[in-house]
Amino acid sequence: MRRNSLARLLLALPFLVLPACSVLRATYDVTEGAVEGTVWTIKGAYELTAGTTKLVYTIGKFTFVVVRAPLEWPLTHDDIDTIDGLPPKDAIRQGRVKNAPYTVKGRRYYPMSVAEARAYEEVGTASWYGDETLTQKGGHMTANGEAFNPKGLSAAHKHLPLPTNVIVTNLENGRSIIVRVNDRGPFPSVHNPQSGQRVIDLSEGAAKRLGFYRQGTARVRVRAVPVDGSG
């Protein structure tokens, strides 16, 4: 990740906890100038904490509504075999997901550390997923236990810690948005083994904002939003 002249701002930001329970506070260390000259600040909560079922936070003009999914909901990727050596929902219930290794159809994946993720930047192909969830009854759960919202601004990534916010730029039209990475993927499919080489899978809502919903894929740059101490 490019770092210009860096000024560091310490911001004490409250967690927004719904339903009402004890209010926590955390200090966010925001890096100035690390994302194309913009200072990104998180206002509100970032991760679901014990006892919370919903939270809301904003980064710039982007608002994220995060809801904890009921454990009985199916995963968006039901081909995840294990997370941290456990059945996926056991790992989710125990909070052992963030950067834990996991297996998909027998293949083991090793996510990067939180420190490594702060410097993450990659150029590659983005796709979008979740269309199949619209035709099924009930909701679906992401790999970190959140309710999947096809219309929201979320994403799946094979190696970033969950959750992580990244800025995604469509290199074909110059559009940029910030999304919340809360799921795993994209993985090779039976119909398209090359799909596993894509760098990120976006929600339908994110794909529409970036202007590639109809074409299905786009060349993008993915870069971590430079917020330290976010969990």
For 197, the token pair is 């080489």
Task: Let me know whether 58 and 131 are in one domain.
Answer: no
CATH number of domain containing 224: 2.40.40.10
Q: 158, 102 in Cβ contact below 8 A?
A: no
In a domain, 57, yes or no: yes
Q: Where are the alpha helices (DSSP H) in 176-216?
A: 204-210
Residue 213: what pLDDT?
Answer: 96
Task: Let me know whether 61 and 117 are in one domain.
Answer: no
The predicted-structure confidence for 97-131, as pLDDT tens digits, reads as follows 999 999 999 999 999 999 999 999 999 999 999 87
In a domain, 196, yes or no: yes
**Is pLDDT at 3 greater than 70 in this prediction?**
no
Domain boundary among 30, 47, 67: 67
For 75, the token pair is 């995963």
- Separation between Cα atoms, residue 210 and residue 220, nearest integer Å: 10
Task: Let me know whether 27 and 130 are in one domain.
Answer: no
- Separation between Cα atoms, residue 33 and residue 115, nearest integer Å: 19
In a domain, 96, yes or no: no
- Sign of the CA dihedral with 60 first, then 69, 229, and 23 last: positive
The one-letter amino acid at 101: P
pLDDT-based confidence at residue 228 (cuts at 50, 70, 90): very low
Task: Let me know whether 119 and 219 are in one domain.
Answer: yes
The one-letter amino acid at 56: V
**Is pLDDT at 162 greater than 90 in this prediction?**
yes
pLDDT-based confidence at residue 21 (cuts at 50, 70, 90): very low
Task: Let me know whether 27 and 124 are in one domain.
Answer: no
Beta strands 102-104 and 107-109, pairing class:
antiparallel
Residue 35: what pLDDT?
Answer: 41
The predicted-structure confidence for 41-50, as pLDDT tens digits, reads as follows 888 888 888 8
The residue among 195, 164, 165, 180 whose CA lies nearest residue 79 is 195
For 228, the token pair is 């330290």
User: The pTM is what?
Assistant: 0.81
Residue with more model confidence, 40 or 116: 116
Range of the domain at 18: 7-67
Residue 12: what pLDDT?
Answer: 30
- Separation between Cα atoms, residue 177 and residue 83, nearest integer Å: 29
The predicted-structure confidence for 135-153, as pLDDT tens digits, reads as follows 566 799 999 999 999 999 9
